Amino acid sequence: MSKYGILGWPLERSYSPVIHTFLLKHASIEGKYELIKMNEINNKNIDQINKSYSGYNVTIPYKEKILEVCEGAYLDVHVKKIGSVNTVNNKDGITSFYNTDYSGFLKFLEIIKFNPESKKVMILGSGGSSKSINYALNLMNAETTIVSRKNIVEAIS
C-alpha cells in the first residue's frame, strides 16, 4: 500500500486527509493519506519523508523552503519559474517537485469565465501560493501587483 500525505505546520484545520482518502478510494488506489506535521524542515527530515511517502502535498509554510532543503530533486519547469512547490512525487528513488496551484487557478478562471488579459489585478499576500497566482495571471497577460504586510511596511517607512 502506498503512503501519501500533506506536509506543513500546524495543519490543525486541514481537510486533505478526508478529501484524498475519498479520492484514493474512488480511483481504486490502495493507499493511505495522512498529515505530515513538521514544525521545521531540513535536509535530514525531508530525506526521511521522501523515503517514507510515495508522494505528498506541500502547504504553509514550506512551499518555498522545501526547495532549499531537498537537494537533487527534479524540478518541473513551472517550479523553476514560480519558485514554489505544492506536489512531491517519489518514484524509483527520484524525487520530483511540481506546482499545480497555477494550473488549478487557471482552470478556476476558465470555470467562472473570467479573462484577466490586460486587466490590473492586486494579489494579497506574497507567499508560495501568491507566486503561483501571479505566474498564472502573467501567463494570461494581466498586470499584477503583489501586496503584503512586508511591502506595505516598507512603503510607509
Q: Which residues are catalytic?
A: 63
H/E stretch holding 146 reads strand 143-147
- CB burial of 40-49 (b: ≥16 within 10 Å; e: otherwise) equals ebeeeebeeb
Scanning the chain, the segments in alpha helix (DSSP H) are: 16-26, 43-52, 66-69, 77-82, 101-111, 128-139, 149-156
Geometric angle at alpha carbon 32, from 6 and 95, rounded to 5°: 55
